Every structure is written in structure tokens, then in C-alpha cells.
Structure 1
Amino acid sequence: MRVDKYLWCVRYYKTRNMVTEACKKNHITVNGQVAKPSKEVFPTDKITFRKDQITQIITVLDIPPNRVAAKLVDIYRKDETPIEAFQHLELLKLSKEHYRKTGDGRPTKKDRRDLEDFGNETNDDETE
């Protein structure tokens, strides 16, 4: 089975076109070699790919006949991604939330004025 079809069948990518784009950007390797979308994969092959800032490593256990349900994915692949990679992603998410909460959007005019007033108050204290 082709690597693009395999990664689509085991639900790592939403479309085969997304897998093809990742292959063109050299984000996918099979057994340590950069893979084209048409690269054939067989059981026991190791596929390494970078997605969502995580380098994921999977081993092909079997070839699915078609796209499989999410509950059946573990029959066809073994995930060997280190746990530290997922923990690092969680830390990145937390650091982004600390800067500005999700859904706040752009600063309002009132926020901008408050920031300017805050900056002016500190400058006034220094001049006295």
C-alpha cells in the first residue's frame, strides 16, 4: 500500500492531499529514507513523520483494506512516539495561554487606553 494511502487509512491525516503535501516537504520518512507519496509500505516498516510540532514514530503491523474506524486503528499500527513529545506539546499550549487567553481576540480600544495610562503613570513617578 502507498504511504499516503496508509497514513490516511489509519487516520493520521484527514485527506490524502495533506499527506502528499507533507511528503513534498520531506516531513515523512519510511525506514529512515525520505518518502514520496507513492512509496510502498509493508508490515514492520517504521514511518516517521512530523505533524503538529511532534515527530511521531509508528510501526506498520498490517495493511488495512480501506479507511478504518478510529477504534480499529491499533490493529494496523503500533505507536512508538515518546511520551516526552506529547508533554512538550502540552507545555507549549500552556505557555501560549499564559500570554493571552484563547478567544480574547484583539485588544479593544479600552485595553489600549488602559495600557497607555499604565505606561504614563510609571513615567510620571520617575520624573517626580
Structure 2
Amino acid sequence: MKMDSVRIDKYLWAIRAFKTRSIAAEACKNGRVKIGGSAVKASREVKVGNIIEVKVGVMNKTLEVKELIKNRLKASLAQEKYIDKTPAEELERLDMIRQMKTEHRERGSGRPTKKERRDLERIKKP
């Protein structure tokens, strides 16, 4: 049986964008999920070809629905159900954030001062 639409929270959970369906629904409620540039409710139906913008952590992902599923699949199969159209700038920003997290302070320099910490936070934010 072919489906013509699935709830957005269920789809995002099934493709493993979120760990639980309730977290996916909460993201919709908080406006972190958009279709066509407008925030959507968790009950919004998604169809093949829809472009979904999802804010997951610090990253803004752009996904195109390739195939509808409503049950969770293993990660390798779930990746085949959508096309990741996330801009290259966003991926570069994520790499920069990862590098900054792994950067280490010189041994013996101690904790960052309030000013140093604020400077680091300013660099990390988009």
C-alpha cells in the first residue's frame, strides 16, 4: 500500500533526524521545523518532493522528501528516504564548531576568563 502523506513529526523520527517522536513534535511546536519557509505543526502532512528545513542542535538541515515512511528504519536505510540539500556553508560552519570544541588550551593556562569565554561564544554563534 502506497502512502501519499505522513505526519511531519513521524517522518522526522522515522528518518532519524530526532531520537524520539516526542522530541520531533516539540521541535515542530518550537518553530524549528519549516516547510516552504513557514513553521509547521507536528500534525502537518508531508508529501514526496517537499523541502523540509530542520534545526537540529546548532545545524540547519535542508531535506527533500524522496520516499515516505512511517516506521523507523536502520540508519543506512533511512538515509535513502531523503535527499540532504544542506548548503555547503552550513556544513563548513559545523566543521568549524567541531574543530573549536576539540581545540585544547595550553597546559597550565587554567580555565578561560569571563572575557575569553564570551569571545569564544561570540565566535561559535552564527
Provide the TM-score with structure 2 as the length reference: 0.73
- TM-superposed deviation, 1:65: 4.4
Q: Is the 8 A contact 2:54 2:60 kept in 1?
A: yes
- Measured against aligned partners, the alpha-carbon deviations of 1:21-68 in whole angstroms (never above 9, x if no partner) come to 111210100122211000000001110011121110001111114111
- Cα separation, 1, equivalents of 2:54 and 2:10: 14
Q: How many residues align?
A: 105
Corresponding residue of 1:121: none
Higher RCO, 1 or 2 (CA under 8 Å, sep at least 6)?
Answer: 2
Matched, 1:77 2:72: no
- Cα separation, 2, equivalents of 1:8 and 1:2: 10
- Equivalent AA in structure 2 for residue 49 of structure 1: V
Identity within the alignment, %: 32
- Equivalent AA in structure 1 for residue 103 of structure 2: H
- Cα separation, 2, equivalents of 1:97 and 1:50: 22
Closer/same/farther in 2, CA of residues 100 and 51 from structure 1, 3 Å limit: farther
Corresponding residue of 1:3: 8
- Which runs of 5 or more structure 1 residues have no equivalent in the other structure? 102-106, 113-128
- Measured against aligned partners, the alpha-carbon deviations of 1:87-124 in whole angstroms (never above 9, x if no partner) come to 211212222333549xxxxx9xxx69xxxxxxxxxxxx
Corresponding residue of 1:45: 50
Corresponding residue of 1:64: 69
